Amino acid sequence: MMEKADQQHHAWLARSFGRTDYLPLSEPDLEALASAGEYVDKYPGTHLFREGDEARTAFVIRSGKVELYRSHQAGSRVVTRVGEGAVIGDIAMFQNRPYLSSAKAISAVNAFKLDRVKLIPVLLDHPRVAMRWLISGLTQLEATQRRVLRLMHRTVKEQVAELLLDEADPYGEVQLSQATLATLLGASRQSVNEALSELRDLGHVETGYRLIRVVDRAGMAGISGRIAEVA
């Protein structure tokens, strides 16, 4: 009889890959997928993988936040931040190429680490798992595209409001520096600072040393255009 921990693990895997109402995974599918990897824990500041390393593994984030960044002569540039449910490293892994970016834990992270050598036979032998993996990847790509489209043709203030709403935790705190906000938006740091000042003057956010807190989500939603989208 399957242990309760195994049942929970399989249920989580089933939810993590694509639509749960599409091609349900069988118990043999889940057992095969589970056999292709293992759970790993990462402390804040440690890496899941580094830019340029051979991509032998992919990760499914179960909990915590991971920052993806690329190195350049002047330092490093944040590409994005991901959390629960995100799959990272799989594109480079499947292409058998080096990782294009580094992945660093910015909080305590628990992730399922999938090994390429073990995973590829599973995908070949279990077409439902392969299809669900494809759906999962396309879902994340669509979410990225939607975010890009939402940010196009908007003022920096509107873009900052949108990003802060996405990144705020349940307490409204945003664990991003102003420099990182500017990098993620492709805007100048000065324009981001000015946008934050306007949002602060409107009473929508609080700012301080290494602190950004959203205090009026409705007001921020109005500025970002989310209210209009919902309506």
Q: Say if residue 65 is in the same domain as residue 101.
A: yes
Quick one: 199 and 116 in the same domain?
A: no
Domain boundary among 114, 148, 182: 148
Specify the pLDDT at position 108.
95
Indicate the helix (H) or strand (E) that contains 184: helix 178-185
Domain edge (last residue) among 124, 148, 172: 148
Cα separation of the two ends of the chain: 50
Contact 77, 70 (CB under 8 A): yes
Give CA angle at 83 (177, 129), nearest 5°.
Answer: 155
Go through the chain and tell me how many residues it has. Answer: 231
Q: CA angle, 181 as apex, 177 and 185 as ends, to 5°?
A: 170
- Domain co-membership, 47 together with 87: yes
CA separation for the pair 89, 57 (Å, rounded):
7
Regarding whether 179 and 219 lie in a shared domain, the answer is yes
Is 131 in the same domain as 161?
no
Instruction: Work out how many domains the chain is built from and give that number.
Output: 2
Mean pLDDT by 10 residues, the chain (231 residues): 59 66 79 91 95 94 91 74 88 92 94 94 91 81 71 81 85 82 81 91 86 90 66 37
Same domain? 134 vs 20: yes
Q: Are residues 177 and 79 in the same domain?
A: no
Q: Which of 133, 147, 20, 135 is nearest to 81 (CA)?
A: 147
Note down the domain range covering 182.
153-230
**Within this chain, do residues 125 and 185 fall inside the same structural domain, yes or no?**
no
What whole-number distance in Å separates Cα of residue 186 and Cα of residue 131?
34
**Dihedral sign from CA coordinates of 162, 166, 167, 170:** positive
What local confidence, expressed as pLDDT, does residue 85 receive?
A: 83
Based on the fold, state whether residues 60 and 158 are members of the same structural domain.
no
- The angle subtended at Cα 62 by Cα 17 and Cα 132, nearest 5°, is 5
pLDDT for res 41: 96
Q: Are residues 15 and 118 in the same domain?
A: yes
Task: Tell me, letter by letter, the H, E, C secondary structure of 97-161.
Answer: CECCCEEEECCCEEEEEEEHHHHHHHHHHCHHHHHHHHHHHHHHHHHHHHHHHHHCCCCHHHHHH
| Domain limit, last residue, from 148, 171, 190 | 148
Whether residue 200 sits in one domain with residue 187: yes
Q: Look up the CATH number of the domain holding residue 177.
A: 1.10.10.10
pTM: 0.69
Domain of 131: which CATH number?
2.60.120.10
Domain identity same for 113 and 163:
no
Please tell me the predicted confidence (pLDDT) of residue 159: 86
Residue with tokens 């051979």: 54
8 Å CB contact between 80 and 151: no
